[in-house]
A and B are shown apart, each in its own frame.
Chain A
Amino acid sequence: MTYSPHTAADRALMLEAIGVAAVDDLFADIPPALRSSGLDLPAPESEAELTARLSQLADRNRVDLISFLGAGAYRHFIPAVVDQLLLRSEFYTAYTPYQPEISQGTLQTIYEYQSLMAELTGLDVVSASHYDGATATAEGALMSCRATRRERVLVGRGVHPHYRETLRTYFGGGSLIADEIPLVTEGPAAGTTDMAALERLLADANGPVAGVVVANPSFLGLLEPMAEIGRLAHAAGALFVSVVEPVSLAVLATPGEYDADIAAGDGQPLGIPLSYGGPYLGILACREPLVRQIPGRLVGMTADIDGRRAFVMTLRAREQDIRREKASSNICTNQALCALAAAIYLGAMGPHGLRDVAALGAARASDLEQALAAAGAPRLHAGPYLNEFAVRVPNASAVHARLVEGGIVAGLPLARAVPDDPSLADALLVCATEVTTPEEIATFAAALGEELAR
């Protein structure tokens, strides 16, 4: 099946107007030595056949299991209005709003997205969006290097392992250094950023620090002493880059409140489906003085020549199509449609609804903690958490695999995601949100209890 509108007569008319005999003549510039032999691909399919194939593939995934997975991607209720509005093809079949006169829909939605995220993060400037939380975090770290003209960042081990690895990849090209801040190994602060180690790293002679990157809640679900980390970073002349989860910001202290200079995170929890990892939404925000260092598109309010309020991409001198090799990043696209989804979601939930999502997730997580502890899987750490935490389970990977067979995805075996931390070898990272039910918690706890009793 193709989507071509051309009949044989149309094609003949076009060839005649061009003045060639056959389509092949239009490809004469391809040197004969370079012409390919043709494509070896599966045969074309009608829409009916393709529909059946896609349905079968989708059905091979098991999305009916009871799941306690989080770890950077979160299952939430998505109001129907979100997807219905995303299906307006005036939004999804438009390109980047380079012609503002006929792109005010996209431009205003991005401006509103920036405003909503500024409110959630407590910061002034929000980019039109980045690819995902990992790349936004890497860009935030690079920003701190540009702004301070320093070449070394400190990244907390509590930052998502994928984000840390992405940051290392992004730093892999140049002279920049990313050192990791260890986590406290025991006691009441176990699992959170080791403050004494942070002080040592900030003072050591490996080079002055451009930015300190710490996540709250951390990958392990723990709440970090963000204000104190910020104070230490600033005392050393470094910027403080906070990695955030946006739903939590309805209730948790904001980057603005604890004096972060830059915030990064993934907007997936705001109405974006899990979709096996993407497309998601990279949130990147900063304080106003850093506005010319932030990479990616920005939309500003202005007026047209008749004085009507209007929106336009602005401060474009930072971008690759203008600055080329001197641009602040090579980023070109943003995730406009995902930013739109997040904005619609926030509009549908409202301030009270978003708080309810965060608080109900916290309540369900408390229930989960108690149920799992009673089943023999206590928390691994003692510090406060919001809705995600690690539990100690002997032979976690094997237990996890058996529970999957029984229809339960018992969170994430941490040994699989963070194999370089022996303290996490026998642990599962579990998460509850507002869609987690008491029945699911009871089923999980009972099954886990049976496994542990084997």
Chain B
Amino acid sequence: MTAAGDRLGPTLFERSRPGRGGGKVPHPPKDALARIPAGQLRAEGPRLPEVSEPELTRHYVNLSQLNYAVDTGFYPLGSCTMKYNPKIDEWAARLAGFAALHPFAPDAVAQGTLQLLWELEQSLAEIGGMTAVTLQPAAGAQGELTGILMVRAYHLSRGDTERSEVLVPDSSHGTNPATASMAGFKTVTIPSAPDGGVDVEAFRAALGPRTAAIMITNPSTVGLFEARLCELLDAVHEAGALAYMDGANLNAIMGRFKPGESGFDVMHINVHKTFSTPHGGGGPGAGPVGVGDKLLPFLPSPRILREPDGRFRLETVGERPTSIGRVRAFVGNTGVLVRAYAYIRAHGASGLTEVSEDAVLAANYLKARLSDVLDVPFSRPCMHEFVASAASLKAATGIRTLDIAKRLIDYGFHPPTIYFPLTVEEALLIEPTETESIETLDAFVEALRLIVAEAHADPDLLHSAPHSSPVRRLDEATAARQPNLRWSAMTGSQTPCPD
């Protein structure tokens, strides 16, 4: 028994007692539903839990305390950009003027939000070097789908119907090939070069009249700027294909590299990474997409338009027939976009440039300090993140990356991303972000140093880690073999309304 066990509590359903709770809305007249045919009504009420507000509050506060979060500690999760989420952004999104605005509000009464969204589009287009931006996609993966569907529409609009393939490097995010499939393309996976970069020759060999697009993450998923990008983009365009940039790693390059200026035709931006909207335990995010001139006609509808008199309006249904259409309901995750807007306005050009510089500086500092602790496969200066590897440690001690990750939890740190990218053995992808102090970075180095020493002295301590967390390693095999995906023993809420 560890000290941790006592921190777990009952489920909401186990807390339920008939007759608790209530009082939030007035009661309806008794005959409120009398005009609805009986066959359309639910046979019996839903078995929802009945809890008082004090119990409800304690339930969720206790649960929150089982979470690790950016606000509780260092979260160097590579590829995820777990930076500090400014509090003013939370405040802004909750202003009644933003939060209470209905998505079908007439343009005339939505001018504040429309102006904010239009200005945000301009800022993101400037940061990405793109002609225009759509804010509609709800997440990075949906941004990818939006971008690749626009690529499809572009080729078809030119009568070019043979382009059925999307090329991705083997180091790409899983969403890239999954997106290509979803958009009806065949994915061709290209192996990386030994230096971790794209293998331009291999891409050249695969490019041809069937290539619709390449999808490149730059800086790459190993944290390196693609040094041969010019050659690659030239080859892509020579083949009549388009270049998609996965903008997951934009936090490294603001003010120094604009994908659109450099020849990328389309990119998505994860505002929940670079522009610090909170990750929310897995969402919501937003995945705006920037395009160059070629894809401009195909942007999802509705776009936000600024009239000559300075007023803003949404495109009407069918106004731009070349559009790929909607990718979701309404205009986008506006509440998230208000936060991103606030973040960009706070920083301005100088602040965003400094963000990228500090993110890259912190990553290189950690990489330098860890180079005698773990393997660091790529010695070039990294961007905002870098790959370390436990391959040598595993050979010497049997300790794997997973064990290191779990032991870091005992030292009070969230583990880095592990076993990604797939191209590096026993990978740890470490992204410190720009908002962590040098003291925190040093403490993280010290923890890894101690863990490597433990790997030699007491490997079982690591095999069985974590020891201090609310729960220990989980039985994931049984969870998948006999899935229990819902609480089914709910009782008690079939009683009549207490008041």
Q: CB distance A434 to B29 under 8 Å?
A: no
**Is A293 part of the contact surface with B, judged by Cβ < 8 Å?**
no
For the complex, what is the distance from the CA of A42 to the CA of B145, rounded to whole Å?
31
> In the complex, how many residue pairs between chain A and chain B have their CB atoms under 8 Å apart?
707
For the complex, what is the distance from the CA of A301 to the CA of B53, rounded to whole Å?
26
**Is B360 part of the contact surface with A, judged by Cβ < 8 Å?**
yes
Enumerate chain B residues within 8 angstroms of A240, measured Cβ to Cβ. none
**Chain B's nearest CB lies how many Å from the CB of A161?**
8
For the complex, what is the distance from the CA of A28 to the CA of B383, rounded to whole Å?
10
With A108-B63, A352-B498 as given contacts, are A251 and B33 in contact (CB-CB < 8 Å)?
yes
Binary B-proximity of A272-306 (CB < 8 A = 1, otherwise 0)? 01111111100000000001000001111111111
Q: CB distance B138 to A131 under 8 Å?
A: yes
Q: CB distance B348 to A44 under 8 Å?
A: yes
> Which of A92, A116, A301 is the one whose CB lies under 8 Å from B278?
A92
Binary B-proximity of A153-195 (CB < 8 A = 1, otherwise 0)? 0000000111101101110111100000000000000000000
For the complex, what is the distance from the CA of A160 to the CA of B330, rounded to whole Å?
11
> Which of A103, A129, A327, A355 is the one whose CB lies under 8 Å from B283?
A129
> Which of A5, A96, A134 is the one whose CB lies under 8 Å from B436?
A5
For the complex, what is the distance from the CA of A166 to the CA of B300, rounded to whole Å?
10
Q: CB distance A324 to B174 under 8 Å?
A: yes
Q: Which residue of B lies closest to A331 (CB)?
A: B141
Q: Spot the interface stretch: B78-86, B236-244, B453-461.
A: B78-86
Q: CB distance B281 to A106 under 8 Å?
A: yes
* Residue of A4, A291, A317, A344 with most partner-chain B CB within 10 A: A4
With A94-B68, A306-B2 as given contacts, are A276 and B110 in contact (CB-CB < 8 Å)?
yes
Enumerate chain A residues within 8 angstroms of B257, measured Cβ to Cβ. 30, 34-36
Q: Spot the interface stretch: A198-206, A332-340, A371-379, A443-451.
A: A332-340
Interface size on B, residues (CB 8 A): 212
For the complex, what is the distance from the CA of A421 to the CA of B377, rounded to whole Å?
62
Q: Which residue of A lies closest to B480 (CB)?
A: A314
Enumerate chain B residues within 8 angstroms of A343, measured Cβ to Cβ. 12
Binary A-proximity of B467-497 (CB < 8 A = 1, otherwise 0)? 0011111111011100111111010010001
Q: CB distance B329 to A162 under 8 Å?
A: yes
Q: CB distance A105 to B64 under 8 Å?
A: yes
**Chain B's nearest CB lies how many Å from the CB of A113?**
10
With A162-B329, A266-B329, A310-B474 as given contacts, are A276 and B46 in contact (CB-CB < 8 Å)?
no
Enumerate chain B residues within 8 angstroms of A5, measured Cβ to Cβ. 435-438
With A26-B381, A29-B380, A58-B96 as given contacts, are A278 and B334 in contact (CB-CB < 8 Å)?
yes
> Which of B70, B181, B261, B405 is the one whose CB lies under 8 Å from A326?
B181
Q: Which residue of A lies closest to B13 (CB)?
A: A115
Binary A-proximity of B1-44 (CB < 8 A = 1, otherwise 0)? 11001001001110000001111111111001101110111110
Q: Which residue of B lies closest to A272 (CB)?
A: B335
**Is B358 part of the contact surface with A, judged by Cβ < 8 Å?**
yes
Q: CB distance A18 to B365 under 8 Å?
A: yes
For the complex, what is the distance from the CA of A349 to the CA of B36, rounded to whole Å?
23
Q: CB distance A327 to B479 under 8 Å?
A: no
**Is A19 part of the contact surface with B, judged by Cβ < 8 Å?**
yes
Binary A-proximity of B247-275 (CB < 8 A = 1, otherwise 0)? 00000011111100110000000001000
**Chain B's nearest CB lies how many Å from the CB of A290?**
12
Q: CB distance A352 to B96 under 8 Å?
A: no
Q: CB distance B475 to A174 under 8 Å?
A: no
**Chain B's nearest CB lies how many Å from the CB of A54?**
4
> Which range contains the number of A residues in contact with the other chain?
35 or more
**Chain A's nearest CB lies how many Å from the CB of B216?**
13
**Chain B's nearest CB lies how many Å from the CB of A284?**
13
Q: CB distance B480 to A315 under 8 Å?
A: yes
Binary B-proximity of A95-137 (CB < 8 A = 1, otherwise 0)? 1110111111110111110111011100011101101111100
> Which of A14, A41, A132, A348 is the one whose CB lies under 8 Å from B328?
A132
Q: Which residue of A lies closest to B68 (CB)?
A: A102
**Is B230 part of the contact surface with A, judged by Cβ < 8 Å?**
yes
Q: CB distance B281 to A340 under 8 Å?
A: yes
**Chain A's nearest CB lies how many Å from the CB of B429?**
12
**Is A40 part of the contact surface with B, judged by Cβ < 8 Å?**
yes
Q: CB distance B139 to A291 under 8 Å?
A: no
Q: CB distance B350 to A278 under 8 Å?
A: no
Q: CB distance B61 to A88 under 8 Å?
A: yes
Q: CB distance B111 to A73 under 8 Å?
A: no
For the complex, what is the distance from the CA of A196 to the CA of B47, rounded to whole Å?
37
For the complex, what is the distance from the CA of A308 to the CA of B88, rounded to whole Å?
39
Enumerate chain B residues within 8 angstroms of A26, measured Cβ to Cβ. 360-361, 364, 381
For the complex, what is the distance from the CA of A337 to the CA of B41, rounded to whole Å?
31
Enumerate chain B residues within 8 angstroms of A15, measured Cβ to Cβ. 361
